[in-house]
Chain A
């Protein structure tokens, strides 16, 4: 195959691929959003833990789970908030979550505050792991927004290892956007794109060994391909020169 034919075929393949991607863009985008959601049916457990953020929905879902008998108690992790002046007017996030649970009918004695201040998902997963280590037979439901469940599950598995089997994940819906059509709403766009970035960041930050292994494998394979390709090219050039 001459070089020109090769490039024409390659350009055609790229055009066809791009066309297919364009035609199937809605399906693809929808799958991209839904891939982040790994929540399942709630299993009867001892505790339900609300991860911080989206207080308009997550604590309401947790309260519903307690009231429906899926969990006996609710866990709330203390969120480390910065001491800005806003704190004078707004209650801290963990207090908001606690208030919602009580407002929705969960008894104050059934709300357990884990005093292990955290600032992010990994910190909250760490706090849950520490709590469950102190209660060896307890099971827990984690409630978080649908697009956040994959990263949360990743963090919980990373922190808790084998013990992560005692945790199940329940997706809370979002009051900001529809997951299957996230690109039609600015907030959905912002949330999903940043979630992918955060997921990548988590893998790099908390699994550097595994990332280094994958990068190493890719580099070795790429080097081998480039080497074989350049060797074939030099052989062809020598053969052309000889003929």
Chain B
């Protein structure tokens, strides 16, 4: 049956309104599903094989993830022969000026507060991105063919990290690494849209995953910035673009 144009528009409008209403009513399950898309939670099947605990995202959040340290400390208390691995980002201006402690210092202190022996912590040197950190881990694991790794990271970064691990490591090596995404405590995938921080973290996780998926590794390194040179240029009147 052919409808006259005006009735056709009314019908289309009604369908749009009903669809919009359905989306609105189902917003919570939809948002939860979006959050779950970013989360990887791979509990190791056999805890006895775990030899190394890699604290990943503490570098991103700089010590904010208390839950990550709690989990690392618990795994260490189960088996004190385990090693906690830190792969530190490049030392920043603030660290060099001793205004803030380094990631390694903060992490060691956080672990110490939870009863982890300092000897159980190993720090590797300075990658500029997560991709380079994974390559550093690959080289490190090459020399240690036995034992599994539990990698602990922020919940909304875990899918991104899994993708990078799978792309950089050989399949056998990637299978040795189990990822556990820990929650910040203030939000997780079930309620991220209710807080500003949750929405920000969700977007950051989604954005970095999309980038890694579509583009892969960075093709341009971050620029180096020297405050002394900036100051000299400013005094010469060249510090600004206009």
Q: A residues within 8 A CB of B99?
A: 91, 96, 99-100, 103
Cβ-defined partner of A177 (8 Å) among B204, B222, B227, B231: B222
Residues of B within 8 A of A60 (CB): 93, 227, 230
Per-residue A-contact encoding for B12-43, CB less than 8 Å = 1, 0 else: 00000000000000000000000000000000
> B125: shortest Cβ distance to chain A, in Å?
19
User: In the complex, given contacts A68-B234, A190-B207, what are 4 additional A-B residue pairs having Cβ atoms less than 8 angstroms apart?
Assistant: A55-B94, A86-B64, A89-B110, A90-B106
A178 in contact with B223 given A61-B230, A96-B100, A103-B99 (CB within 8 Å): yes
Contact with A along B172-211 (1 / 0, CB 8 A): 0000000000000010000000001000100110011001
Distance (Å) between the CB of A142 and the closest chain B CB?
Answer: 14
Give which listed residue, B9, B110, B203, contacts A194 with CB less than 8 A.
Answer: B203
Q: Which of A89, A120, A184, A234 contacts B6 (CB 8 A)?
A: A234
Is A233 in contact with B5, judged by CB distance below 8 angstroms?
Answer: yes
Contacts of A237 in B (CB 8 A): 5
Q: Which residues of A contact B204 (CB under 8 A)?
A: 190, 194
Q: Which of B91-123 contact A (CB under 8 A)?
A: 92-94, 97, 99-101, 106, 109-110
Query: Which of B75-83, B136-144, B212-220 has 4 or more CB atoms under 8 Å from chain A?
Result: B212-220
Q: How many residues of A contact B (CB 8 A)?
A: 52
List B119-149 residues whose CB lies under 8 Å from chain A. Answer: 129
Bound-complex Cα distance A226 to B12 (A) = 13
A234 touches B4 (CB 8 A): yes
Q: Which of A38-46, A72-80, A131-139, A158-166 contacts B (4 or more CB under 8 A)?
A: A38-46
List the A residue with the shortest CB-CB distance to B98: A103
B223 contacts across to A, CB distance below 8 A: 173-175, 177-178
B235 within 8 A of A: yes
Provide the bound-state CA to CA distance between A90 and B63, in Å: 9
Q: Which of A39, A57, A60 has the most CB of B within 10 A?
A: A60
List A contacts of B230 (CB < 8 A).
60-61, 64, 173
B155 → chain A closest CB, angstroms: 16
Most chain A CB inside 10 Å of its own CB: which residue of B4, B99, B224: B99
Give the chain A neighbours of B92 by CB distance below 8 A. Answer: 56
**A residues in contact with B221, CB < 8 Å:** 185
Q: Cβ of B186: which chain A residues have Cβ within 8 Å of it?
A: 82
A157 within 8 A of B: no
Nearest CB of chain A from residue B113's CB, rounded to whole Å = 8
Cβ–Cβ < 8 Å partners of A173 in chain B? 223, 225, 230
The yes or no answer to A116 lying at the interface (CB within 8 A) is: no
Residue of A nearest to B232 (CB): A64
Proximity bits, A180-199, B CB within 8 Å = 1, else 0: 01011111011001100100
CB of A101 to closest CB in B, whole Å: 10
Cβ contacts A218-243/B at 8 Å (1 or 0 each): 00000000100010011001000000
A-B contact pairs, 22 of them (CB 8 A): A39-B240, A57-B227, A60-B93, A60-B230, A63-B231, A64-B234, A64-B239, A68-B234, A68-B239, A84-B64, A86-B62, A86-B63, A89-B109, A91-B100, A119-B196, A170-B240, A171-B240, A173-B225, A175-B225, A186-B215, A190-B208, A230-B6
- Among residues of A, the one whose C-beta sits closest to the C-beta of B218 is A185
Inter-chain CA distance A185–B221, complex, in Å, is 7
Task: Using known A-B contacts A68-B235, A103-B97, A234-B4, determine if residue A84 contacts B207 with beta carbons closer than 8 Å.
Answer: no
Give CA–CA (A175, B89) in the complex, Å: 14
Partner of A90, one of B9, B62, B203, B215: B62
Cβ A186 vs Cβ B211 within 8 A: yes
Determine how close the nearest CB of chain B comes to the CB of A235; give it in whole angstroms.
10
Is A109's CB within 8 Å of the partner chain B? no
Task: Judge if A48 is at the interface, Cβ distance under 8 Å.
Answer: no
Indicate if A176 sits at the interface (CB-CB under 8 A). Answer: yes
Instruction: Determine if A85 is an interface residue (Cβ-Cβ < 8 Å).
Output: yes
Across the interface, name the chain A residue whose C-beta is closest to B220: A184
Query: Complex: how many Å from CA A55 to CA B109?
Result: 23
How far apart sit A64 and B219, CA to CA, in the bound complex (Å)?
31
Could you tell me if B203 and A197 are in contact, using CB atoms closer than 8 angstroms? yes
Least CB separation from B4: chain A residue? A234
Interface residues in A83-109 by Cβ distance below 8 A to B read: 84-86, 89-91, 96, 99-100, 103-104
Closest to A185 in B: B218
